[in-house]
Structure 1
């Protein structure tokens, strides 16, 4: 069992709590992890309460991290009802070792998931699709595969509440669509981020699921998308990615994405130039210090030589 417990159950160490929260390890990170977990539970029960939690229903937490949501339900469901998967091995290991009755599965960065078709009645994915850039369509279809027809999927995405932080501008959904920010940003710095507009979600995700509801700002500044899995044949990833016919906002969003990328490129160049300038200044300072050290060493050596002569 975990060394730390609260009223919900075991609490992971700060390093693992920080992984899912996106911050460095600290007591504040653990508090945020616990607070966000409670908020996520409330949202899941509100949106999926007709199906989950209930006797016999099976649920998947896609991108479970260190169990921020899983621990909220672990003590109240039967073994086999609740499954979490993630790409981070230490997080999966902690969930497996500390949350009794929860199945934790390590996954790769690309599909498939190790589950049969229609395994789950519900699934949720919190703060995952706000980072998926290249494989979002493949993963959405994989979640469609493992959720039964009529089953529901709850996903959080970044929208208007994150526009200033991620794009540095007021929210205008007509020119966003699906826009990637910081595509090359390493995960230790938060990873790439994705903004989504409701119209784009309905046009593209609606080809694989029925969009039951879209709740702007439904979860701590992120938007919530509630989907239902139809019984119709699945589209392909290319089908999901194709621009919506006759939708002028597709072009508007594409042009704006180019403008944002150009602005980001200029900012990166500015930061690089500032870093290069600071590096040159630091090298000059280091060279000056080395010269002073060499001069002091010579003075010390001359002083030692004089003292040697005096002793004679």
Structure 2
């Protein structure tokens, strides 16, 4: 029989696709940011673009008690794990594979990021977040995603985006 941690922590081959660090601790830290900085409410309808294997979904599962969560990602095994391990327990959490081409993460993808239309109606979400997705995107694709986020975000909604930026200023600060 699986323990609760085994049910909520994906296998290492899925969890290490999202960077270093403790999978669960990172998710809990971001949950705190979403609530404190992003004003995320328990009744929110949330879109996680680049949800991976549920690193942000699991901590939110005990918070979005009146809300809904939708996660999309280009790594199909991660989506399948979430659909098998998270959705059956938290039926207000749904996950969908987006077959977007990325030469590293999804080399067999059939859709270009600049052409991808988020599979949701306009003004569907109170809160949209992307954790380090833009780090892996080219400017044209990023601009298109911003347009899609704007389309699906409700008026007054919040978008929370993180990314790794290496430019002259950040290099100076690192040094």
TM-score after normalising by structure 2: 0.78
The change in CA–CA distance for 1:168 and 1:12 in structure 2 (over 3 A counts) is same
The change in CA–CA distance for 1:168 and 1:48 in structure 2 (over 3 A counts) is closer
Q: Which position in structure 1 is the counterpart of 2:12?
A: 14
Q: Which position in structure 1 is the counterpart of 2:95?
A: 104
Shift of 1:79: 7.6
How many angstroms apart in 2 are the aligned matches of 1:54 and 1:78?
A: 6
How many residue pairs were aligned?
Answer: 155
User: Are 1:142 and 2:148 an aligned pair?
Assistant: yes
Match of 1:170 among 145, 169, 172: 172
User: Are 1:68 and 2:59 an aligned pair?
Assistant: no
Q: Which position in structure 1 is the counterpart of 2:42?
A: 54
The change in CA–CA distance for 1:75 and 1:97 in structure 2 (over 3 A counts) is farther
Q: Deviations over 1:14-35 (max 9, x none)?
A: 11111112x6xxxxx6xx1122
The structure having more radius of gyration, on CA atoms, is 1
SS at match of 2:9: coil
Map 1:1-312 onto structure 2 (within 5 A). Answer: 3-6=2-5, 10-21=8-19, 32-49=22-39, 52-55=40-43, 57-78=44-65, 81-99=68-86, 100-101=90-91, 102-109=93-100, 110=113, 111-133=116-138, 134-159=140-165, 169-171=171-173
Structure 1 gaps, min length 5: 24-28, 173-312
SS at match of 1:76: coil
The change in CA–CA distance for 1:116 and 1:77 in structure 2 (over 3 A counts) is same
Shift of 1:171: 4.7
Shift of 1:147: 0.7
Shift of 1:163: 5.5
Shift of 1:116: 0.5
Shift of 1:89: 0.3
How many angstroms apart in 1 are the aligned matches of 2:96 and 2:37?
A: 25
Q: Deviations over 1:59-93 (max 9, x none)?
A: 11111001100000113334861111101100011
How many angstroms apart in 2 are the aligned matches of 1:136 and 1:73?
A: 26
Q: RCO (CA 8 Å, sep 6+): is it higher in 1 or 2?
A: 2
SS at match of 2:157: strand
